[in-house]
Structure 1
Amino acid sequence: MNSIAIFCGSALGTDSIFLDTAQKMGKAIAEQGKTLVYGGGRSGLMGVVADSALQAGGQVIGVIPHALVDRELAHPHLTELYVVNNMHERKTKMSELSDAFIALPGGAGTLEEIFEQWTWAQLGIHLKPCAFLNVEGFYDDLLKFIHLTTQKGFTQARFTESIIASDSIEDILQQFKTFQAPQPKWGMANQQDLVK
């Protein structure tokens, strides 16, 4: 596993622990010699995690749509920055570049990104792990809801159980090393057919 995608807020949130955790996340990825892949922005937790990885000597790849570059939201000091046409291309490119995905605290965009990757794993588009860094219980209610979808017959148990959730960065990174992907829903699918 050489690269890890981080999904997180473009705001800092109301609690300083979110900023602190983003700093620790970027540093941990860099110190393990992994490449950080993220949305390419300089604001909020996105900017914090990128800055932290860069300061620790890590490689950071950003993927950002033209519209956000034009609004001067692109981070100016990344190892590499891909500028794409839209949000759909952004998520596809981030998936291609990454070996695993972690959601830090964030809002609708963060949730949409991690859920899409988890969905793609269920369909066999990729076999990569998805994780929630559950900072001070931030994702407790969401994780309960995910389990409810299994109880009510909408998500197969093996996919719910494949989600990695922890309040420890080190624990998540360790679980990535031993991750075993569940059997996809209908066997291996053709990625190009499903994401285009």
Structure 2
Amino acid sequence: MGGRALTTVTVYCGSLRTVPEPYLELAAEVGAEIARRGWSLAWGGGRRSMMGAVSQAARAGGARTIGVIPRSLVDREWADHDADELLVVDTMRDRKALMEAHGDAFLAMPGGIGTCEELFEVWTARVLALHDKPVVVLDVDDHYRGLVAWLGELVERGFVSRTALDSLVVTDDVRTALDACQAP
């Protein structure tokens, strides 16, 4: 597939210990596929839950990993000191900005409110033409079904343009999601 020259995918995903095993397996699959493609991973810098699974699998496959974590979360999210580069920042705003700066594309896997916040911020920046990088949602098990339906309602009500919604790629397949990260 053609498209942009991709080197680093920024991944947003769950970090809680209560995440069910299938989501950890999904994160590991994403990390392995990023490595197989010869790309690097930028992520939230944690070593547990989905964050840990994606980074460990990416490294195991030979990918470079760049973790970004706020100082206040180093212990709480168990900072991944095995990262090729672990950037400790002062605030969550600094974290998001640095993760965005490192990414050539953005992939949101299943996650909670933090993942949603990161997704909305990077997608809004794309809609406002602050960047032209792909924003992709990996929606396995209909994790984002309600959110996607609500976004459709916002289009119908005139609060979101169809163009904005169409710029967000939503898929339930890992390879399709990563292919979309390479799209122009």
Question: Is the TM value for this pair above 0.5?
Answer: yes
What residue in structure 1 maps to residue 69 of structure 2?
A: 64
1:70 to partner: Cα distance? 5.0
Structure 1: segments with no counterpart, 5+ residues:
180-196
What residue in structure 1 maps to residue 80 of structure 2?
A: 75
Q: CA RMSD in A?
A: 1.4
Moved more, 20-29 or 119-128: 119-128
1:68 to partner: Cα distance? 1.4
Amino acid at match of 1:24: E
1:175 to partner: Cα distance? 2.1
1:41 pairs, out of 20, 43, 46, with 46
Cα distance 1:169–1:110, how it changes in 2: closer, same or farther (>3 A)?
same
Structure 2: segments with no counterpart, 5+ residues:
1-5
1:138 to partner: Cα distance? 1.0
CA distance in 1: counterparts of 2:96 and 2:19, whole angstroms: 27
Report SS of the residue matched to 1:4.
strand
Flag the structure with more relative contact order, 1 or 2, with Cα contacts below 8 A and sequence separation at least 6. 2
Task: State the Cα deviation string for residues 117-148 of structure 1 (Å, max 9, x = none).
Answer: 00111112111111111111111111111111
1:81 to partner: Cα distance? 0.9
Alignment of 1:1-196 (within 5 A): 1-71=6-76, 73-179=78-184
CA distance in 1: counterparts of 2:116 and 2:69, whole angstroms: 17
CA distance in 2: counterparts of 1:16 and 1:109, whole angstroms: 20
Cα distance 1:90–1:77, how it changes in 2: closer, same or farther (>3 A)?
same
Normalization by structure 2: what TM-score?
Answer: 0.92
CA distance in 2: counterparts of 1:70 and 1:134, whole angstroms: 29
What is the count of residue pairs matched by the alignment?
A: 179
2:127–2:167 CA contact under 8 A, matched in 1: no
1:14 to partner: Cα distance? 4.9
